[in-house]
C-alpha cells in the first residue's frame, strides 16, 4: 500500500508570489505515478537508491513519496535566517512599507478594517506606529484585544522588548484575573474586560477572523460606542479572511490590505484518506526529516493528549534510529503546557538538527514561530458546540474549515518557500470541509455573555446588533438563568450567594475559584502517568470532586502557595495562581454584595448544599446503565477522572456536561435529593424526586480508558 502526496491542481487561492511551477509539479506527479512498474531504467535506478535511503528508517509500506526540486536548494539559503537587530526585523515586516499610508487611512476614517497575512506585523507593529505618531499624547491609551491569553502575554512581551521598556510599564497586558499594567501603560493587550474608558483613543480588535465570542460581542458594542465617540478610532485587524463581512457590518468601513505573503507554499494532498492521522503525522515528519533540506516543521493536532502521544512516538522512533538520522528536536505546544516549556518552541534550532513543533491551532494565527518551512496538517480541530435544550456543551474533534487549512498552510511560507502536506485528499478539501468556521457565538453557552452585556447596561439583548446572532433559544435560556451581579457564571454566583446562608462562604469561594480555572488543575504528562494519577488519588476526600478541589487548594495554601509543592504533586502552578487571583477578587466582591465570609469548620454538608443551591438545574440520578438528568431524562456518565467514578452515588450535581467520547459529567458532587426541595422548591416537585427503587444499583459503568487522558 503506497501513499502519495499529490500536488494541488490549482494553487491555493491566496495571493502568492513565485508560482509558475505548475509544469514541474505535473511532471513530478507523472514520475510518482509511474513509480510502480515499467519505468525507464535510469529512473528505476534512482528510485532504487531513494528506496534504500528510506528503508534505513521506514518500513516500505509506510513510505510516502515526496517530490523534490531544485528550488528547494534556493529556499535553503533563504531559510538560513541571519541574526538581525530588532529594528532590522521590524523594517523587514510586510506592514512596514505601508506605515505612512496606513496612518493616513486611520486619520481619515473612524473605522478601518486591516487585512494582512498572519505574521505581517499587524499585532506588533500597528500599535507602535500609533504610539510613534503621538496618538497617546495627553495621557491617551491604545487598546488591542486578543482572543487568546497566551497570545496577549507573548505579544505584549515582544512589543515591550521592541519598544525597549519593561513589560507592565508603557506596554502591558491584561487578561482575565491577571493584570500586568501600571498607570504608565499606554499600550495594553487584553483578552476581555475591555474597560473602554474615555482615555482609550484607539481600539484594535485583533484576530477578528477568529470570530471568538468576545470578538463578536465587541463588534456590537464598539459599533454602538463609535457612534457617540467620534474621536475614537476603531481598527479591525484580520488575517486574509472574510474581511468584506467586517466592512459590511461596520457600515462599509474601508478595508486596508497589506500585501503580504513573501514566499510561495506548495500544497500536497494524500491520494487516499489516511486511516490514522496521528501515525501518518509521525511518518510524514520522519520522511521530511530524512529527505528534505533543513527547515523546521510544524504539525497541527487537536489537543494535549494527541500532541503528547505524537511527540512520544516520534521520540521513540528517533531513539531506535539513533545515529542513522540527524537530530530531531520534538517540542509540544498547547495552552496548558507550563510556560517554561512553551518558551522552548521559540529558541533557535541548532545547526545540523531540525525542530518539529507539535501544536494545537494556537499556532494557526496567534503564535508565529520563525523558521518553519514544512507544515503537516491532518485537517482536524477540537470544537465546542452547545445545545441549549439539553444544556450540553460538547468538545469534539471535527474537520477544520478550508479557511483554517489555508491559514495552517500559510505558516510554512514565512521565511522561505515552504511546503504544506495535507493528510487528506484534494477531494475532501473541496467537498467535505466547510468554507469557514462557525462563529463561537453560535455554538456556546451564553450565560457569561448575557451577564457581561447586562452589566454594561444593555438590556434589550434580543435586538442587540450581533454580526451573526446567536440562536434565539440559547439567548433566551441565558437570560432566564441570569441572576446575580458577579463576574462569573450565573449558577456559580448563586452558589456563592447561597454559601452565606449555609455559613461556608470561605470554602465555597475556593471551590468557585477552582471551578472557574476549568479543568487545568491536574498536570498529567504522558511519561509520568502513574505518578500523576497517584498524586491525584492522594487528594481524594469524601463528597465529590468539588471537595477534592477544595482539598487541593487548602493544601497548596498550607504549603505557602509553593511552586515546588505544585511540581511535586502534579498540580499546574499557573492554574493555581489564577485560582488564587480569582478567589481574591471574589472575596473582595463579597464585601460589596454584603456576604459575610465564614467557614463551616470542616462540615461538608453545608458546602454541598450551597453547590446544590447554585446548580440545582444540573441534577442527575443513578438509573439503569448510567445516570439520567432529572429535567431531560438524558443519559449521562460520570467522567473517569472523577473521584466518584467508582462510588456511583444515587444523586449527583454536575458542574458541566461535556461530550467527548460519551456524554460525561465533569466535576460531580454527591447530594441528598431532599436538598433539592430545600434549595429550589419552585423548580422541583416531591414526586420527581422519589426514588423508584430502594435497591442499590449495580455498577454498570466500565472504565472508559480512552477518556483517561
Ligand atoms: O499580527 P500579525 O500576524 O500580522 O503579525 P505579528 O504578530 O505582529 O508578528 C510580526 C513579527 O513579529 C513576526 O515575524 C513574528 O515572528 C514576530 N513576533 C515575535 O517574534 N514574537 C512574538 N511573540 C510575536 C511576534
Ligand atoms: Mg496578529
Query: What is the ipTM for the molecules in this complex?
Result: 0.98
For 151-179, give one letter per residue: b (16+ CB within 10 A) or e: bbbbbbbbbbebbebebbbbbbbbbbbbb
C-beta 116 within 6 A of ligand 1: yes
- 476 CA to middle of ligand 2, Å? 34
Pocket perturbation via mutation, ligand 1, pick of 121, 154, 167 by most ligand atoms within 8 A of CB: 121
CB 369 within 8 A of CB 345: yes
- 119 CA to middle of ligand 1, Å? 5
- 446 CA to middle of ligand 1, Å? 32
- 635 CA to middle of ligand 2, Å? 43
Which ligand is the nearest neighbour of the Cα of 126? Answer: 1
Atom of ligand 1 nearest to the CA of 95: 4
C-beta 391 within 6 A of ligand 1: no
C-beta 572 within 6 A of ligand 1: no
User: Cα–Cα distances in Å, from 670 out to 22, 86, 173, 310?
Assistant: 64, 57, 40, 37
The pLDDT value given to residue 21: 32
- 468 CA to middle of ligand 1, Å? 29
- 206 CA to middle of ligand 1, Å? 13
DSSP H/E element including 393: strand 392-399
C-beta 264 within 6 A of ligand 1: no
The pLDDT value given to residue 567: 93
Per-residue HEC secondary structure of 428-467 comes to HHHHCCCCCCCCHHHCCCCHHHHHHHHHCCCCCCCCCCCC
C-beta 287 within 6 A of ligand 1: no
C-beta 240 within 6 A of ligand 1: no
Which ligand is the nearest neighbour of the Cα of 93? Answer: 1
C-beta 648 within 6 A of ligand 1: no
The pLDDT value given to residue 346: 82
- 109 CA to middle of ligand 2, Å? 21
* Assigned C-alpha cell, 46: 534512482
Strand-pair partners of 656: 666
- 93 CA to middle of ligand 1, Å? 9
CB atoms within 10 A of CB 473: 11
* Assigned C-alpha cell, 562: 509553593
CB 357 within 8 A of CB 363: yes
C-beta 303 within 6 A of ligand 1: no
Which residue from 163, 157, 202, 199 is spatially nearest to 175, judged by alpha carbons? Answer: 157
Atom of ligand 1 nearest to the CA of 237: 1
Atom of ligand 1 nearest to the CA of 126: 8
C-beta 370 within 6 A of ligand 1: yes
DSSP letter at 147 equals S
C-beta 118 within 6 A of ligand 1: yes
pTM to 2 decimal places: 0.61
* Assigned C-alpha cell, 359: 501544536
- 155 CA to middle of ligand 2, Å? 8
Measure the CA–CA gap between 493 and 112, rounded to whole angstroms.
39
CB 282 within 8 A of CB 301: no
Atom of ligand 1 nearest to the CA of 151: 23
- 493 CA to middle of ligand 2, Å? 35
Atom of ligand 1 nearest to the CA of 370: 16
Measure the CA–CA gap between 667 and 495, rounded to whole angstroms.
15
DSSP H/E element including 550: helix 545-558
Q: Whose CA is nearest to atom 8 of ligand 1?
A: 121
Atom of ligand 1 nearest to the CA of 369: 16
Q: Give me the DSSP letters along 267-329.
A: EEEESS--S-HHHHHHHHHHHHHHHS-S-EEEEE-SSHHHHHHHHHHHHHHHHHHGGGS--EE
DSSP H/E element including 534: helix 529-537
Q: What share of the chain is helix, strand, coil (3-state, %, to 5)?
A: 45, 20, 40
* Assigned C-alpha cell, 323: 545515529
Pocket perturbation via mutation, ligand 1, pick of 123, 205, 368 by most ligand atoms within 8 A of CB: 368
Sheet with 200-205: strands ordered across? 178-180, 171-175, 187-190, 141-145, 200-205, 233-238, 111-116, 255-258
The pLDDT value given to residue 281: 94
C-beta 278 within 6 A of ligand 1: no
Measure the CA–CA gap between 59 and 603, rounded to whole angstroms.
62
DSSP H/E element including 628: strand 626-629
Longest distance between any two alpha carbons in the chain, whole Å: 88
C-beta 439 within 6 A of ligand 1: no
Which ligand is the nearest neighbour of the Cα of 206? Answer: 2
- 207 CA to middle of ligand 2, Å? 6
C-beta 356 within 6 A of ligand 1: no
- 543 CA to middle of ligand 1, Å? 48
Which ligand is the nearest neighbour of the Cα of 210? Answer: 2
- 642 CA to middle of ligand 2, Å? 38
Mean pLDDT, the chain cut into blocks of 10 residues (709 residues total):
34 31 30 32 54 53 43 39 68 91 95 90 96 92 88 90 94 83 92 65 91 84 86 91 88 89 83 87 92 94 93 93 90 83 84 94 81 94 78 80 90 88 91 87 76 66 83 72 54 85 94 83 89 94 96 96 95 89 80 80 94 92 89 90 93 90 92 90 76 44 37
Measure the CA–CA gap between 187 and 386, rounded to whole angstroms.
35
Atom of ligand 1 nearest to the CA of 258: 4
The pLDDT value given to residue 390: 67
* Assigned C-alpha cell, 398: 471535527
DSSP letter at 490 equals H
* Assigned C-alpha cell, 682: 419552585
Strand-pair partners of 626: 623
Which ligand is the nearest neighbour of the Cα of 207? Answer: 2
DSSP letter at 139 equals G
The pLDDT value given to residue 273: 83
Atom of ligand 1 nearest to the CA of 118: 3
* Assigned C-alpha cell, 256: 486596508
- 191 CA to middle of ligand 2, Å? 13
- 123 CA to middle of ligand 2, Å? 4
Q: Whose CA is nearest to atom 21 of ligand 1?
A: 158
DSSP H/E element including 233: strand 233-238
Look at strands 171-175 and 187-190 and give their pairing. parallel
CB 632 within 8 A of CB 389: yes
Which residue from 481, 463, 472 is spatially nearest to 442, judged by alpha carbons? Answer: 472
C-beta 123 within 6 A of ligand 1: yes
Q: Cα-Cα-Cα-Cα dihedral of 219, 221, 223, 226, to 10°?
A: -130
Measure the CA–CA gap between 517 and 487, rounded to whole angstroms.
13
CB 191 within 8 A of CB 147: yes
- 97 CA to middle of ligand 2, Å? 17
CB 207 within 8 A of CB 197: no
Measure the CA–CA gap between 521 and 514, rounded to whole angstroms.
8
C-beta 270 within 6 A of ligand 1: no
SS3 397: strand
Which ligand is the nearest neighbour of the Cα of 154? Answer: 1
Measure the CA–CA gap between 98 and 115, rounded to whole angstroms.
12
Measure the CA–CA gap between 473 and 310, rounded to whole angstroms.
40
Cβ-proximal residues to 323 (8 Å cutoff; 6+ apart), any chain: none
C-beta 120 within 6 A of ligand 1: yes
- 155 CA to middle of ligand 1, Å? 7
CB 336 within 8 A of CB 304: yes
Amino acid at each position: 500500500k503506497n501513499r502519495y502526496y499529490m500536488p494541488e491542481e490549482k494553487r491555493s487561492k491566496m495571493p502568492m508570489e513565485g508560482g509558475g511551477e505548475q509544469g514541474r509539479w505535473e511532471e513530478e506527479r507523472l514520475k510518482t505515478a509511474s513509480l510502480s512498474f515499467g519505468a525507464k531504467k535510469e529512473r528505476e535506478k534512482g528510485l532504487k537508491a531513494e528506496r534504500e535511503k528510506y528503508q534505513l528508517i521506514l518500513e516500505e509500506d509506510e513510505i510516502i513519496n515526496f517530490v523534490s526540486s531544485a528550488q528547494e536548494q534556493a529556499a535553503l539559503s533563504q531559510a538560513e535566517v541571519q541574526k538581525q537587530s530588532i529594528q532590522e526585523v521590524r523594517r523587514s515586516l510586510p506592514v512596514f512599507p505601508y506605515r505612512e499610508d496606513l496612518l493616513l487611512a486611520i486619520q481619515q476614517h473612524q473605522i478601518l478594517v486591516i487585512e494582512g497575512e498572519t505574521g505581517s506585523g499587524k499585532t506588533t507593529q500597528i500599535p507602535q506606529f500609533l504610539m510613534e505618531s503621538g496618538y497617546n499624547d495627553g495621557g491617551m491609551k491604545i487598546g488591542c484585544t486578543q482572543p487568546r491569553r497566551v497570545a496577549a502575554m507573548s505579544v505584549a512581551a515582544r512589543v515591550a522588548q521592541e519598544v525597549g521598556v519593561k513589560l507592565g510599564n508603557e506596554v502591558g497586558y491584561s487578561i482575565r484575573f491577571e493584570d500586568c499594567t501600571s498607570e504608565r501603560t499606554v499600550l495594553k493587550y487584553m483578552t476581555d474586560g475591555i474597560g473602554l474608558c474615555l482615555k482609550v483613543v484607539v481600539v484594535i480588535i485583533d484576530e477578528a477572523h477568529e470570530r471568538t465570542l468576545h470578538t463578536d460581542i465587541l463588534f456590537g458594542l464598539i459599533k454602538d460606542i463609535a457612534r457617540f465617540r467620534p474621536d475614537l478610532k476603531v481598527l479591525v485587524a484580520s488575517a486574509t479572511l472574510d474581511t468584506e463581512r467586517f466592512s459590511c457590518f461596520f457600515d462599509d468601513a474601508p478595508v486596508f490590505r497589506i500585501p503580504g505573503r513573501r514566499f510561495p507554499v506548495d500544497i500536497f494532498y494524500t491520494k487516499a484518506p489516511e486511516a490514522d492521522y496521528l501515525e501518518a503525522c509521525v511518518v510524514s515528519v520522519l520522511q521530511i526529516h530524512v529527505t528534505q533540506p533543513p527547515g523546521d516543521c510544524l504539525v497541527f493536532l487537536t489537543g494535549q493528549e494527541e500532541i503528547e502521544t505524537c511527540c512520544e512516538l516520534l521520540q521513540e522512533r528517533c531513539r531506535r534510529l539513533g545515529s542513522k538520522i540527524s537530530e530531531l528536536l520534538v517540542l509540544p505546544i498547547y495552552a496548558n503546557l507550563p510556560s517554561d516549556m512553551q518558551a522552548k518552541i521559540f529558541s533557535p534550532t541548532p545547526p545540523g538538527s531540525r525542530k518539529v513543533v507539535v501544536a494545537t491551532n494556537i499556532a494557526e494565527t496567534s503564535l508565529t514561530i520563525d523558521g518553519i518551512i514544512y507544515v503537516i496538517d491532518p485537517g482536524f480541530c477540537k470544537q465546542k458546540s452547545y445545545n441549549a435544550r439539553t444544556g450540553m456543551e460538547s468538545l469534539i474533534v471535527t474537520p477544520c474549515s478550508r479557511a483554517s487549512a489555508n491559514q495552517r498552510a500559510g505558516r510554512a511560507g514565512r521565511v522561505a518557500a515552504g511546503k504544506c502536506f495535507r493528510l487528506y485528499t484534494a477531494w475532501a478539501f473541496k467537498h467535505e470541509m466547510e468554507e469557514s468556521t462557525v462563529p463561537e457565538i453560535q455554538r456556546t453557552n451564553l450565560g457569561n455573555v448575557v451577564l457581561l452585556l447586562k452589566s454594561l447596561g444593555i438590556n434589550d439583548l434580543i435586538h442587540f446588533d450581533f454580526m451573526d446572532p446567536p440562536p434565539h433559544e440559547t439567548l433566551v435560556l441565558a437570560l432566564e438563568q441570569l441572576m446575580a451581579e458577579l463576574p462569573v457564571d450565573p449558577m456559580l454566583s448563586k452558589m456563592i450567594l447561597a454559601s452565606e446562608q449555609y455559613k461556608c462562604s470561605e470554602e465555597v469561594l475556593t471551590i468557585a475559584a477552582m471551578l472557574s480555572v476549568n479543568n487545568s488543575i491536574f498536570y498529567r504528562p504522558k511519561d509520568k502517568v502513574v505518578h500523576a494519577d497517584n498524586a491525584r488519588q492522594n487528594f481524594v476526600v469524601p463528597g465529590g470532586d468539588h471537595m477534592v478541589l477544595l482539598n487541593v487548594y487548602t493544601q497548596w495554601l498550607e504549603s505557602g502557595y509553593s511552586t515546588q509543592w505544585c511540581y511535586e504533586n502534579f498540580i499546574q502552578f499557573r492554574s493555581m495562581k489564577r485560582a488564587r487571583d480569582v478567589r481574591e477578587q471574589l472575596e473582595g466582591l463579597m464585601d460589596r454584595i454584603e456576604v459575610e465570609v465564614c467557614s463551616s469548620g470542616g462540615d461538608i454538608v453545608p458546602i454541598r448544599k450551597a453547590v446544590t443551591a447554585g446548580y440545582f438545574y444540573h441534577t442527575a440520578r443513578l438509573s439503569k446503565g448510567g445516570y439520567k438528568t432529572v429535567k431531560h431524562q438524558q443519559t449521562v456518565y460520570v467522567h473517569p477522572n472523577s473521584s466518584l467514578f467508582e462510588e456511583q452515588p444515587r444523586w449527583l450535581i454536575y458542574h458541566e456536561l461535556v461530550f467527548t467520547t460519551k456524554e460525561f459529567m465533569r466535576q460531580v458532587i454527591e447530594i441528598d435529593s431532599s436538598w433539592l426541595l430545600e434549595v429550589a422548591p419552585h423548580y422541583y416537585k416531591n414526586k420527581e424526586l422519589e426514588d423508584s427503587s430502594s435497591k442499590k444499583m449495580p455498577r454498570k459503568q466500565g472504565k472508559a480508558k480512552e477518556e483517561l487522558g
